[in-house]
Structure 1
């Protein structure tokens, strides 16, 4: 791995581990000697979505981003087990594989739900938690949840050209930055043998799990939010249609360890819409955590 930011950006270290018969991939930036942050992406995203966040942290942190099952280059689950409990077991396997004794955990949306559950179960391993625009009930009863369900039903299985694929992402993510759009096209799509541009993730399996989850597969996040024992930062997009201001306020009221930051000019996809704003509140929080938790480095 190169020492410059550009070299790191071009070729982060890549690693693999196996859980429940699936080969799962992660990428990492930074020195293994530094304290670790594990980052979990959202429903239809990928590990490299965190690259511009990671590159701003390398002076003090080691950043590890997981291609969660069915996404990026990780295996698709032939059984279609794309539910919170499955993702949490994968995260447990990753932490054990890397022998992470203590680390910061960051998750966006679906990754945030996974983060709440893991952190509540493993307070000894999670030094601090950061959740981007996720809270109890948001996945089921919000305008954003309805929008995501519509998107899943209306998403084409393939595109004739890369331009068509980029136009699709721009249409459903009108606030996304040009850099984030370029990343999304590069890392979420591939060219098939027939010349069509298609998805890297298991679009059919993921949509099926999201749209028709049995009641027993849906996790009530409130007990996990209330059980958190570590400093927690809730980053909300000020224009989010997914996590309401009222729910975010209630989360902070129910657990005094949670502090909230609303990022202006951002929807549910905070780090894609306003990277500078996201990085500013994240780095301020991490500076506080690092300063008060030097013993776990």
Structure 2
């Protein structure tokens, strides 16, 4: 496996690094000379979910998107350690591997929880934070959390055809665009030796960790939200069943560095549902940060 990604322009390249004995993959767009944004996907997603977010940013930014452990082409964890502390160690290893001294960190859902914890611990490295539809308590007690638990229990381990797999994704993500649906089919599924279509991610291991996590594995995000020292953008889907408006309001009240933006026509999967709306609020925020990026490496 290559030890690092090659320089590139608009075409992605892949790189690899080690964490906890696992080989983890990242993809990268843009010049390594530009300030970096590290992007973290959600529970059953993959690095390439960020491609339509990344491509419009390449004039000014380098984008690094991680296949978090057990997803995409990264190794599955044989111990089933798919918890916040494990993901944060992986992110620490990635930042060290790429020698990122200062960068913007963006995370969706599970990736947002990981981003909150990392940013609170590493304010010297995270210049700005963007979190897509995640907040304290959302993973435990929201309507969206109940929906995700039902989905995990009801997800088939394989499909007879690609059309059947696409129909499954459309049924459980009725609001996502056709482009986002095709991305999920392309990057979250693969054809097995027997001809059936199976998951790229460790579906069984991820479900076990999500459905039966010991209390000590569940992270209270409030202390991390309150500890943030960098400009933070909280992007919420206006139709989200996961992050409530009340929780988003309370996050902003407890930490004045957090700015909130609700994206119309979007559920919990904001950049999949309304890419244009997501990109507008993200790019506005990043434009404000660019003037501060001259000392980053």
Q: Shorter-chain-normalised TM-score: which range?
A: over 0.9
- SS of the equivalent of 1:56 reads helix
Query: How far 1:292 moved relative to its partner?
Result: 3.6
Map of 1:149-160 to 2, 5 A cutoff? 149-160=149-160
Deviations 1:82-104 (A, max 9, x none): 00000000000000000000000
Unaligned runs of 5+ in 2: 1-5
Alignment deviations for residues 226-257 of structure 1 (CA, whole Å, 9 cap, x no partner): 00000000000000000000000000000000
* Contact 2:159–2:198, Cα closer than 8 Å, also in 1: yes
Residues 274-285 of structure 1: pairs in structure 2 closer than 5 A: 274-285=274-285
Name the CA shift for 1:4/1:214 in 2 (closer, same or farther; >3 Å).
closer
C-alpha separation between the residues in 1 aligned to 2:162 and 2:25? 25
RMSD: 1.1
State the 1:3 CA deviation: 7.4
**Residue 237 of structure 1 pairs with residue 232 of structure 2:** no
User: How far 1:4 sits from its partner (Å)?
Assistant: 7.0
Residue 183 of structure 2 is matched in structure 1 by 183
Instruction: Give 3-state SS (helix, strand or coil) of 1:52's partner.
Output: helix
- Give the structure 1 partner of residue 85 of structure 2: 85
TM-score (norm 2): 0.97
> Following superposition of structure 1 onto structure 2, how do residues 180-219 of structure 1 map, counting pairs within 5 Å?
180-219=180-219
Report the counterpart of residue 3 of structure 2 in structure 1. Answer: none
How far apart are the structure 1 equivalents of 2:295 and 2:271? 30
How many pairs align? 292
| Alignment of structure 1 residues 1-297 onto 2, 5 Å | 5=10, 8=11, 12-296=12-296
Distance 1:2 1:286 in 2: 22
Q: Partners in 2 of 1:2 and 1:74 — Cα distance? A: 21
| CA deviation after TM superposition for structure 1 residue 277, in Å | 0.3
Deviation at 1:295, TM superposition (A): 2.9
**Aligned-pair CA distance for 1:296:** 2.5
The alpha-carbon distance between structure 1 residues 218 and 100, as it changes in their structure 2 partners (threshold 3 A), is: same
CA deviation string 1:153-202 (max 9, x = no partner):
00000000000000000000000000000000000000001110000000
Whether the 8 Å contact between 2:133 and 2:242 is mirrored in structure 1 is yes
CA distance in 1, matches of 2:295, 2:95: 19
Q: Give the TM-score normalised by structure 1.
A: 0.97
